Structure 1
C-alpha cells in the first residue's frame, strides 16, 4: 500500500506539472534583462510564414505571454490574431542577445493588427483584436519593468492611417512617444520607427506620403530615435504584409539603427 501511495503521489505531481506548466523561467538581474516593447499594427505583430526552426526557443530571449508570464521566446511572438507570424522583433531580439553574452532579452509583444494610431490612446478599444492597444501595452510594459530595464521601443504602424488621419499623424505619434517615455520613466529609451511598405508596383497615395513624412518628423523631434527604411523589402501574396525574409531583414535594420543610437 505504501508503494501505491508513493506512485500515486508521483503520478499526481506529474499531472499537476503538466496542467500548470513547467517551473517559471529563471530571470537574470534587472540590469541584465533588456526589455523591448513591440508596438504598432500587423507588420510589427508579424505575418511572415513561420518555419519549423522558428518554433525552437531563441537563445537568451524570453517573451511576455498573453497571461503576463515570462516564457522562452519562439514564434509566434504575438497573439493579436490567430495567424500571427514572424515579425521584425524576432530577428531584432536574436541579434541583440547575440551582441552581448551577458544579457537576456525580454520581448513585450503589444502590436494589434489593423489598429489605427487613434487606437493608441487611453481607454480606446479595438474590435479586431478585442483589446485596448494603448492600455494593454502600458500595463504589460509596467509588469515587465518589475523584472527588467526598458532598452528599446520598436514601432511599425501607419497603414490604417493613410486617410484623413494623415494630417494629424505627426502630432499623435509624438504624443505617444513622449507618453510612453514618461509612463515608463525612460526619457532616453531609443524609439525605432519602421517605414511603411513600398512594394514593387504599389503606388503610394498622397496620404501615404504624408504618413511617411510625419513619421520622419516625429523621429527627428524625439531623439534618441531612428527611422528605418523598408526599401527593397518584399511582400506576402496579400501585397500587404512583409514576407518572412523581409521581416528578418527589417529586424536586422531595426537592430543596426538601435546599435548606432546606443553607441553615441
Structure 2
C-alpha cells in the first residue's frame, strides 16, 4: 500500500494538471495565431486612436516589404471588433485603395519606447472626409458612413481592454480651400474635446500632422494649423518636411508615410512627458 501511495504522489507531482497556473502576462492576454482573446482590461494595453482622412488611413503602395511588417506587441482593432496583430493596411474605410499609412510605424515606435506594454491601434480614419462630418450624427455621403459615430463605437469597445493614451490626427486636404479653412481650428478643438470627454481624460495627448508641402493650398493650410498648439492644450504638430507624394500630389508614398508615423510617435512621447 505504501508503494501505491508513493506512485500516486509522484504522478501528481509531475503532472501539469497538478501544477499551479503560471502568472499570465499582460492581464491574461493570449495570442491565437493573429487574433487575441483579452479577458479583462488593464494598463498593460495602451490604446492609441487614429483619426482623419486618407493620409491617415494610408494610400501608399502595398509592396511586399510593407505587408510583411509586424510586431507581436502591436495590435489593431479590426473591422470585426477584435484585436489582431497589426499589419498594413490598418484601415478598412475603402478596402480597394487602402495602403501604407503612418499608423503602423507609429505603433512600432511607441512599442520600442514602451517594451513592457502592448500597443493597441484603433483605426478610425475615413478617406476624403471634411472636418464637418467629424461630429455626432454627421454623415459622409461618399462612403455612406458616419465617421464620428463609427469612431465612437470602435473606441468605446476597444476601451474595454485597455487605456486610451493618445490620439493622432491627419486631416485637412478636404479643408485646404480658403473657404473650407474658415473656423477649422475651432472645429478641431471641438472634436478633440469630445474625444477627451469620451475617453475620460481631458488632458489626452493629441498629435496633429501637417499636410504634404507639395501644394500651395496645403502650405497655406499648414500655416493656419501652426496655431493649434497655442489654442488647444496638450497638442503637438508633426512636421511633413521632406515627405513626398506617391505621384498624385495628394497622398504620401510608402516611405514617407512610414517616416511620418515615427514623427507622430516622437511628438506623442514628448507630450506624454510634458502633460500640462
TM range (shorter): 0.7 to 0.9
The answer as to 2:181 corresponding to 1:166 is yes
User: What is the distance in 1 between the residues matched to 2:77 and 2:97?
Assistant: 18
Where does structure 2 lack aligned partners over 5 or more consecutive residues?
Answer: 1-31
Match of 1:44 in 2: 56
Match of 1:54 in 2: 66
Aligned residues: 239
Match of 2:230 in 1: 220
Once the two structures are superposed, residues 220-245 of structure 1 have per-residue CA deviations (whole angstroms, 9 ceiling, x without a partner) of: 22221101110110110212100001
CA contact (8 A) 1:61 1:106 kept: yes
Shift of 1:48: 1.1
Once the two structures are superposed, residues 33-74 of structure 1 have per-residue CA deviations (whole angstroms, 9 ceiling, x without a partner) of: 011100000000001112224334333111111121111111
Once the two structures are superposed, residues 105-143 of structure 1 have per-residue CA deviations (whole angstroms, 9 ceiling, x without a partner) of: 111000000000001011111122221111111111111
Large movers: runs of 4+ above 4 Å: 21-24
Match of 2:262 in 1: 252
CA contact (8 A) 1:110 1:137 kept: yes
User: What is the distance in 1 between the residues matched to 2:273 and 2:93?
Assistant: 33
Shift of 1:22: 6.4
CA contact (8 A) 2:41 2:160 kept: no
Match of 1:197 in 2: 212
Which of these residues, 121, 125, 142, is aligned with residue 156 of structure 2?
A: 142
> Of the two, which has the highest radius of gyration?
2
Shift of 1:198: 0.3
User: What is the distance in 2 between the residues matched to 1:111 and 1:198?
Assistant: 21
Q: Give the 5 Å matches for 1:107-126.
A: 107-126=121-140
Q: Per the alignment, do residues 116 and 151 of structure 1 end up closer, same or farther by CA in structure 2, a change over 3 Å counting?
A: same
SS in 2 for 1:83: coil
Match of 2:239 in 1: 229
Where does structure 1 lack aligned partners over 5 or more consecutive residues?
Answer: 1-20
User: What is the distance in 1 between the residues matched to 2:233 and 2:255?
Assistant: 29
Q: Per the alignment, do residues 59 and 93 of structure 1 end up closer, same or farther by CA in structure 2, a change over 3 Å counting?
A: same
TM-score after normalising by structure 1: 0.85
Q: Per the alignment, do residues 170 and 210 of structure 1 end up closer, same or farther by CA in structure 2, a change over 3 Å counting?
A: farther
SS in 1 for 2:240: coil
User: What is the distance in 1 between the residues matched to 2:208 and 2:34?
Assistant: 36
The answer as to 2:98 corresponding to 1:88 is no
